[in-house]
Amino acid sequence: MTLHREGYGIMLGTFVLIAGLSALNYWGFTKHELLPLFILIELVLVTFLFLVVQFFRIPSRVCPFGENDIVCPADGKIVVIEETQENEYFKDKRIQVSIFMSPLNVHANYFPISGITKYAKYHPGLFLVAWHPKSSTDNERTTFVVEHKNGTEILFRQIAGAVARRICYYTEVGKEAKQAEEFGFIKFGSRIDVFLPLDAQIDVKVGDVVKSKLTRLATFK
């Protein structure tokens, strides 16, 4: 396991803050009668630091799937599987699969297929809770489309939530995409929508807990 580069500044700042608060806690509450309070505050501070560090963890994983598989781009829980109208790029009916990422999930995002990035666009917007139906179209978000070598295009969208306030991405139009290679990161709770062809074979169901690289969302027909 490694720690993501997007978190270096936040983790350092959090460590400095916790160190300062711990020093104040030590000076203020180490008298005998206040020792239990000192211990309680230290436990809270250490727990907070641990939660911040674990948010930026990147576990070592090897994707076991092949070129005709569409792999999960993020850790989280499947909250939506439905046929819907995709109006930004395709402007037709697609199967939408949505993955909600809580603050406890790994938040790096990975390409679901290999191919060429055909579309990449950032949209400023609101910060509704990530499971809100309108978050997909009204929240701050980035949309990507990758064309597989078989000609099929897959759209996937990073969506900021009520807590997530920064979307990071590392691809652009014309750049090669490699299945299970990182394309972005969302800080502190978020959602990813994947729009699949209507004839795709869906391999997950609503309520499933999924893992990036290790869960197959669907397969091409």
The residues spanned by each domain of the chain are 2-58, 69-219
Taking residues 55-71, report their average pLDDT. Answer: 91
| Tens of pLDDT, residues 109-132 | 999 999 999 999 998 866 555 555
Read off the pTM: 0.85
Architecture in CATH for domain 69-219: Distorted Sandwich (2.70)
Helix (H, G, I), strand (E, B) or coil at 45: helix
Mean pLDDT of the chain: 88
Taking residues 58-76, report their average pLDDT. Answer: 94
Q: Is 206 left (phi over 0), alpha (psi -120 to 50) or beta?
A: beta
Q: What is the distance between the alpha carbons of residues 189 and 221, in angstroms, rounded to a whole number?
A: 33
Listed in sequence order, the residues at least 6 apart from 6 whose beta carbon sits closer than 8 Å to its beta carbon are 56, 168, 185, 187
Give CA separation, 45 vs 21, 31, 48, 192, in Å: 8, 19, 5, 31
Q: What is the pLDDT of residue 128?
A: 57
Tell me the catalytic residues. 190
Q: What is the distance between the alpha carbons of residues 17 and 91, in angstroms, rounded to a whole number?
A: 48
| Tens of pLDDT, residues 138-195 | 678 899 999 999 999 999 999 886 555 578 899 999 999 999 999 999 876 688 999 9
Listed in sequence order, the residues at least 6 apart from 118 whose beta carbon sits closer than 8 Å to its beta carbon are 145, 146, 147, 153, 173
